[in-house]
Structure 1
């Protein structure tokens, strides 16, 4: 019985860590997308056409938002399952 409690607490810790890491990554994707969209050529130190910057920045922001929605829905379903 004691071993099962230890395994359960380590699984809960890993799930919290994974959820936190996923949220951190969503923030990084959105931040990188905004940086690419808003940074001037000197800051990026690359000569990228404006349309490519817009598309790449938009894709990164969209991907970050989609990941956030998936993490949020997954945590919401997990809480419902635990109750």
Structure 2
């Protein structure tokens, strides 16, 4: 039979989509880390009052976690859509 896989797979090259998936996971970790930084560090580079800084930090943490979970599921193929 004919091997109908793309040439990249036959030659053992990694696809750009695979690299993009891992970059998205790293960015999710960066968002979470930035949110934790805004939440935990009392004096920061940002000249924001305490309440908006904590609110922004919480949004970053939640967004980073949601983004990480969604992309991790799509990479591992464990989507709950049936």
Instruction: Give the TM interval when normalised to the shorter protein.
Output: 0.7 to 0.9
More helix by share: 1
Residue 24 of structure 1 is aligned with which of 20, 26, 44?
26
Misfit runs of 4+, over 6 Å: none
- Answering whether residue 74 of structure 2 is matched by residue 74 of structure 1, we say yes
Structure 1 length as normaliser, TM-score? 0.72
Give the corresponding residue for 1:5: 6
Tell me by how many angstroms 1:77 deviates: 2.1
- Count matched residues: 75
> SS of the counterpart of 1:73?
helix
Q: Is there any run of 5+ residues in structure 2 with no aligned partner, and where?
A: none
Give the corresponding residue for 1:81: none
Structure 2 length as normaliser, TM-score? 0.73
Q: Is there any run of 5+ residues in structure 1 with no aligned partner, and where?
A: 79-83
Give the corresponding residue for 1:36: 38
What value does the CA root-mean-square deviation take over the aligned residues?
A: 2.5
Q: Quote the Cα distance in structure 2 between the aligned partners of 1:63 and 1:18.
A: 18
